[in-house]
Amino acid sequence: MTDSPRERLRALPSVDRLATAVARAELEARRQDLLDGPVDDDVDLVQRARARLAPGTRRVLNATGVVLHTNLGRAPLAVEARAAIDAAATGYAALELDLVTGARSRRGRRADSILMALTGAQDALVVNNGAAAVLLAAAALAGPGREVIVSRGELVEIGGGLRIADVVAQSGATLTEVGSTNRTRAEDYAAVIGPRTGAILRVHQSNFQMTGYVQRPDLRELAALGVPVIDDLGSGALDGERPLFADEPAARDSVAAGAALTCFSGDKLLGGPQAGILVGASEPVRACREHPLARALRIDKLCLAGLEATLELHSDPSLADRRVPVLAMLDLPAEVLARRTDQLAGLTGGAVVEMSSPAGGGSLPLRQLPGPAVELDPGAQGAEALAGRLRTGDPPLLARVQGDRVLLSARTLAAGEIPLAAECVARAQVR
């Protein structure tokens, strides 16, 4: 028998006990800050304690100008994707059921079909993130007792301290490095191919770029060596038609060049929820789908619903440019950005200045997004303290701090969020 409401009420902690627990945690964090080195002397511990009680995953207002902000969940979703997730979350969903026949069907069939149309691939498979896609590809095409060949210049760290070498190691395959840091040729791969070779892994340097005395073989050269090529694009540009993506490798081009499997993320330039996407030839995709790891790495129903809706938008590129927030923000017309910035400046009393921001999220590494921003007067509390008050407000507002300047970019604020951001600033500046 369950406890009665009266018994459950008696089980609630006292105000003193709850307040003491939060206060102790906040004071301990502050003591550690002081021991670790120079800190801001003007910290609102009450505000920080209030933030500690807030839910862990909260909506925030992003005024950093970084469109694909990894710490903020990367791509904000299109209205259509949010609606699809809401529909899938309401009651039950036909996740693995063919409603026509009543028989069990394969999860993600709709997403796979759209991806094949968008990339020209023979087959497709969706898993739960980009690293999972690479792991599954390496496990399915190589795995224990076999090797994966990779250029030394492509042994990158992909975020959060995770390195490509670590991902491949978890597949059970042996990593064989070829070439040098800055120059690797097709013959370097050919020289080590043998009976144990399972695949060649080609990794896009999506969060940095090497220039100068560098060389890298064309994907067609690698595909001609007779070994399956896994092409890890990371950032997930579907095609190279958009001028903004001119320097990014495109999934459609990778498939056309002969990659056995092309892997990329769903929550970067694609602008969808977190997902790992594999497209390519029928047999390699089938090997991935049938591998035991596929079930452990499969995408959940909510992300799948959001991804399908996002992919539907990409079926019409002009519609995607307008409706997918990442694409709209990256290519925001200068007059629209100026108008939003002027509105934000007028509501906050800030000054309009010039600022440049990276695209973020391991995409477009050399691309800076210049434009106007609003500089706030931090007053006596200083830039770090003001940014902290904005960050711990309700809702949290994330600003850029550059030296003693607090900057707000309207690029990453939706038009309807600008008045709300101004309210956050007004509360943070009141002492």
Three-class SS state of 324: coil
The confidence band for 244, taking pLDDT boundaries of 50, 70 and 90, is: confident
Dihedral sign, Cα of residue 379, residue 381, residue 385, residue 390: negative
Residue 56's CB is within 10 A of a number of other CB atoms, namely 4
SS3 content of the chain, % helix, strand, coil (to 5): 45, 20, 40
Task: Describe the strand order of the beta sheet including 174-178 as a list of residue ranges.
Answer: 123-127, 276-280, 261-265, 229-234, 197-203, 147-151, 174-178
pLDDT tens per residue across span 6-46: 777 776 667 676 667 677 777 777 777 677 666 666 666 66
Query: In this structure, are residues 401 and 323 in contact, taking their beta carbons and an 8 Å threshold?
Result: no
Q: What amino acid occupies position 34? A: L
The confidence band for 399, taking pLDDT boundaries of 50, 70 and 90, is: very high
Residue 52 tokens read as 């500690």
User: Chain centroid to CA 307: how far?
Assistant: 13
Q: What is the pLDDT of residue 242?
A: 82
In the chain the domains, ranked by start, together with CATH numbers, are 45-76+328-429 (3.90.1150.180), 79-323 (3.40.640.10)
Residue 382 tokens read as 């200083």
pLDDT tens per residue across span 139-180: 999 999 999 999 999 998 876 778 889 999 999 999 999 999
Q: 227-261 burial, b if ≥16 CB within 10 A, otherwise e?
A: bbbbbbbbbbbbbeebebbeebbbbbbbbebbbbb
Residue 227 tokens read as 């070994």
Query: In this structure, are residues 324 and 309 in contact, taking their beta carbons and an 8 Å threshold?
Result: no
Most distant CA pair in the chain, distance? 77
Q: What is the pLDDT of residue 235?
A: 87
pTM: 0.85
Residues 425-430 have a mean pLDDT of 89
Three-class SS state of 62: strand
Task: Describe the strand order of the beta sheet including 405-408 as a list of residue ranges.
Answer: 351-358, 368-376, 405-408, 400-402
Q: What is the pLDDT of residue 37?
A: 66
Of the candidates 286, 281, 324, 299, the residue with the CA atom closest to the CA atom of residue 77: 324
Residue 9 tokens read as 């009420």
Q: CA–CA distance from 297 to each of 63, 110, 125, 132, 135 (Å)? A: 33, 18, 11, 6, 9
Q: What are phi and psi of 149, to 5 degrees?
A: -95, 135
Residues 179-197 have a mean pLDDT of 96
Tokens 């040729």: give the residue: 185
d(CA 398, CA 377): 16
Q: What is the pLDDT of residue 1?
A: 46
d(CA 310, CA 273): 9
